[in-house]
Structure 1
């Protein structure tokens, strides 16, 4: 056993199988951790009892239990029992247990806990006591039961708990099948195999615990700028004709978009890093010149008819033995990413790929005709049985792909369907296999919140759902909700109803408005993810992360915040009235320029189809680009509007981060903005990729023009406003209404510092 202590009351302990008559090597999934170690203090060291403390955590260890403050862990299980001919039968499949019974487990007791969240991917945000255990075992279902405790396409074994206002968290790093039975006093873990690797986050704020878990599992990778624009996927995008048709219809309906994500049918013979004969390199170049990306799919397998050639090249050692089964195409063999030879081969292929391959699919792994539609547990990797790495197989696939793309000319950011803890280091997650109904829409919002507190900020679902027919109202509400989640993407099944936005022509005015809002906030999204990398804080947040002392927020899973700035409320039926909870403070209804002074209360709102409820918190400054555009690249040279939202003290401040977002290791800019005591100060700083100060890049001059500044919530109107730059002081014109003051027109470039002075005498 090993015990570690880190800052912010974080404890990690590992119990490993290291010897014995039935010893075998159990797989350990490695994290790129940023946690900071601190020393223990030994209080007592007796024969059957050890007492330690670390920061504000008291630790007591006996022969049968561990106690960390009020949390007790006992009933440890670590099996290594082997009988002759040990087998397990499941769905007409005989599972040969090579190493016998190898399960691990423990019980965790926590007094008076009231709320428990996380453990994605399940359809619930909050976990409830039940006789049926929650399960983590990655599968690729065709649709799913919203009430089932079974997991879906990914697994993150992190739980956030509240006990009478005290917050704790736990992460169990074990990529084998997991079960957790929740009771009124805690829960019981059981895993199929692996080691016990537990990290406890104790007695801290929920936001700090989420941050500590991100430091454990890894930084959120920064997406390229274009990834925040609209992305359109469809299983029928696999030829020049289908691609040209989609581009034409987007242009005809004047909807901006940045990429088309092609189906695996666009890959030659379903092979990764290749393209159909119907899609030429010349055609791809022609589309790219329109500032439209064509994204291909990376599949983690090789077709059977190519095996002889590949085996002769790599001696066959990179394939998982005994797994020639079916996926989206006929017989395939799966790459063994635990084998260095297989891992390096896949990384090399992604590095030298002639096409942009950023979509990792079918990596749950998805095997259509085996039990539970995934690989057999006793499929043999070079060293391990598949049961040892099942839940993290997708991460190994994505990591290999990511490292290859990183060495190419492309910006590395991988979107994946399968995932495990730490997936955020390589990109984001698409919540796939949704059906087109209101319950599924509600479910993906809850799933997204669960993902965000578990370390994955870049997340989203297929707008309108992947399966079944969608009506226009449901599609519109789904689109509006996804407008304010990081991934803004549509998709559709090849045999299903088409769900591109241009298909809903009767709602095209509302659809255009949602697209307009999305593109106004592109720089905000990019800045938010840049800050997330610096701060280890999630971008998408359930309300209680920002308001842990407001117990009403603990049960709200229909609303979410972006950072500490924006508040959104989803609409999950065809209602025309909605109760929206607004935490205490000054807020502004973004859509109608209305100021709201909330004491932490529910507001009844009448709805129309224009958009969902959307509020900006006082003490927020936004840099927006409101002109029409066709893509994020075309938007770069548009002028900014700066919105300043004052709080109850008539103050506002924000830090923004900007880079061109086109390639790796770009220089970046930090903009600090502060409104205080009737003056506004703006400063800009330029840095290289290592954080060293640099001079402003003159090529970016046209990207920083600002034509208006809007101030919301001033108590009185000034008589005069002066703009003070490095070389000049001028009076600027303004107009005002009841809630806002507009300084316009301005010929301002944000590449230099300046100050606004509001004069009342």
Structure 2
């Protein structure tokens, strides 16, 4: 890892000390300097990334974090939004800043959680962790002269709230990883404004306090001090959205008032999507590499859903150089859930398996059957919550890289 925190030049020119020589104005000199510095930002990032790759013998992917950047910087590393302050307004503005960066190709971005300068209140720190956990680059950071702000210094209740927001981040790492792979291939932003997916919905054009992660998760962080509720706009006429915490179903094309407490992080999964998570609590992402997946299947109004799962070794360039990766298409239609290989020419094995399948918006089946690629069949245990219309299938036990089908009867 390399952290390029001062990869720029500070140029302080007083207008009183400047002059025009009759050929070059201060404005033209300044603009020329700007273009030089912008190019320099990218070259410094490239040189750093290349150096880290060289140091690993050309094997390991580098991680480079930079504050200064320019067009093309997304090829070499992540970006953070600079020296913010522990103020509610800075928490709030981190959302449109990251959305803007994503739209110009800089998807791997985030703000210093808690603010770089000043000292956050316990409420502000908790809310910032909750918001940051649902942004592409998630990091707590502060100036060396600010009071210490480790989560455990704000009381056990706030520590538990921060721990839960981090846990939610880790559970969604498979989804984040699949989205970054998609960004690598297509350039589509990971964190995106609602109007990217709903360009005909005028109501989405001015929304800056909520956003989409990919196209399937909608997040409305709480960014106001003392808030007891937020109003989230759920787009899509004829669509449905599910609260990821309560599984409650809501119609699209409406503004929904949501009462909130300090534990609330309003997040909704789009009906018609399948999101892969790893729900086992671990100390680090490396401990999770071989953990099983839980599939969250949110049915559309038509009773269908689809999603993707991407897996590689998480460290090397083998996914590009040797096609060593898993890329699966997951689909639910006509009461059948299946996993299909999107990269039949790839060669990669994984120890991860499917531990559980949770289906929102369905009905109770009389039986559930798992069909393996070799033709063998087995009955699956299930339970149905009729109040929430949530069906849970336990331990299908199939490898995450395998072809399989689950049939509800």
TM-score (ref. length: structure 1): 0.49
Q: Does 2:53 align with 1:399?
A: no
Task: Tell me what 1:389 maps to.
Answer: 36
Pairwise CA distance, 1:504:
2.5
Counterpart of 1:452 in structure 2 is 102
1:672 aligns with 2:329: yes
Per-residue Cα deviation, 1:256-276 (whole angstroms, up to 9, x for no partner):
xxxxxxxxxxxxxxxxxxxxx
Name which of 184, 188, 208 aligns with 1:533: 184
Superposed counterparts of 1:529-568, under 5 Å: 529-568=180-219
Does residue 364 of the first structure (1) align with residue 13 of the second (2)? no
The 5 A counterparts of 1:402-551 are 402-409=49-56, 410-506=60-156, 507-551=158-202
The 1-side partners of 2:161 and 2:190 are apart by 26
Map of 2:241 onto structure 1: 587
For the residue of structure 2 that corresponds to 1:397, the secondary structure is helix
What pairs with 1:656-735 in structure 2 (closer than 5 Å)?
656-666=309-319, 667-684=324-341, 693-697=345-349, 700=350, 702=351, 704-714=352-362, 716-727=363-374, 728-735=376-383
Q: Secondary structure at the match of 1:478?
A: helix
Q: Which consecutive residues of structure 2, in runs of 5 or more, have no partner in the other structure?
A: 19-23, 25-30
Mapping 1:614-633, distance limit 5 Å? 614-633=267-286
SS across alignment from 1:722: strand
Q: CA RMSD in A?
A: 2.0
Name the SS for the 2:318 alignment partner: coil
Q: Is the 8 A contact 1:490 1:499 kept in 2?
A: no
Give me the TM-score of the superposition, normalised by structure 2: 0.89
Over 3 Å counting, the alpha-carbon distance change for 1:753 and 1:388 in structure 2 is: closer
* Equivalences for residues 5-404 of structure 1 within 5 A: 356=1, 358-366=2-10, 370-371=12-13, 386-404=33-51
Q: Does 1:737 align with 2:385?
A: yes
Q: Distance in 2 between matches of 1:659 and 1:745?
A: 23
Partner Cα separation in structure 2 for residue 611 and residue 399 of structure 1: 40
Equivalent-residue separation in structure 2 for 1:677 and 1:515 (angstroms): 36
Structure with more strand by fraction: 1
Q: Would you say the 8 A contact 1:365–1:418 is kept in 2?
A: no
Q: 1:113-156 deviations in whole A, cap 9, x for unaligned?
A: xxxxxxxxxxxxxxxxxxxxxxxxxxxxxxxxxxxxxxxxxxxx
Name the CA distance, whole Å, in 2 between partners of 1:537 and 1:652: 21
The whole-number CA distance in structure 1 between the counterparts of 2:178 and 2:249 is 25
For residues 608 and 655 of structure 1, the distance between their equivalents in structure 2, rounded to whole angstroms, comes to 33
What is the CA deviation profile of residues 216-265 of structure 1, one whole-angstrom value per residue up to 9, with x for unaligned ones? Answer: xxxxxxxxxxxxxxxxxxxxxxxxxxxxxxxxxxxxxxxxxxxxxxxxxx
Contact residue 365 and residue 394 of structure 1 kept, 8 A: no
In structure 1, how many angstroms separate the alpha carbons of the residues matched to 2:308 and 2:219?
A: 21
Alpha-carbon deviation of 1:477?
0.7
Moved more, 624-633 or 665-674: 665-674
Q: How far has the Cα of 1:501 moved from its partner?
A: 2.5
Post-superposition offset of 1:499:
2.6
For the 8 Å contact 2:275–2:308, the answer to whether it is kept is: no
Corresponding pairs, count: 382
Question: Cα gap change, 1:388/1:580 in structure 2, threshold over 3 Å: closer, same or farther?
Answer: closer
Query: When you count helix as a share of all residues, which structure comes out higher?
Result: 2
Query: Does the C-alpha gap of structure 1 residues 423 and 579 become closer, same or farther in structure 2, counting only changes over 3 Å?
Result: same
Q: Distance in 2 between matches of 1:532 and 1:671?
A: 17
Question: Conserved in 1, the CA contact under 8 Å of 2:294 and 2:354?
Answer: yes
* Whole-Å separation in 1 of the counterparts to 2:13 and 2:249: 56
CA distances 1:563-589 after superposition (whole Å, capped 9, x unpaired): 110000121212101111111211000
Whether 1:636 and 2:289 are equivalent positions in the alignment is yes
Displacement of 1:489 in angstroms is 0.3
CA apart distance, 1:385: 6.8
1:608 Cα deviation after fit: 0.9
Partner residue, 1:292: none
Q: Deviations over 1:134-185 (max 9, x none)?
A: xxxxxxxxxxxxxxxxxxxxxxxxxxxxxxxxxxxxxxxxxxxxxxxxxxxx
Note the C-alpha offset of 1:641: 1.1
**Measured at CA, do residues 694 and 392 of structure 1 come closer, stay the same or move farther in structure 2, by a change above 3 Å?**
closer
For residues 653-677 of structure 1, the C-alpha deviation after alignment (integer angstroms, 9 at most, x for no partner) is: 1122211211223311111111011
TM-superposition CA deviations, 1:337-364 (whole Å, max 9, x none): xxxxxxxxxxxxxxxxxxx4x2112123
- Kept in 2, the 8 Å contact 1:483–1:517? The answer is yes
Stretch of structure 1 that moved more, 665-674 or 516-525: 665-674
CA distance in 1 between partners of 2:43 and 2:401 (Å) = 42
Question: Are 1:415 and 1:428, in contact at CA under 8 Å, matched by a contact in 2?
Answer: yes
Query: 1:686·1:696 contact (CA, 8 Å) conserved in 2?
Result: no
| Distance (whole Å) between structure 2 residues aligned to residue 433 and residue 361 of structure 1 | 10
State how far apart, in whole Å, the 1-side matches of 2:34 and 2:329 are.
50
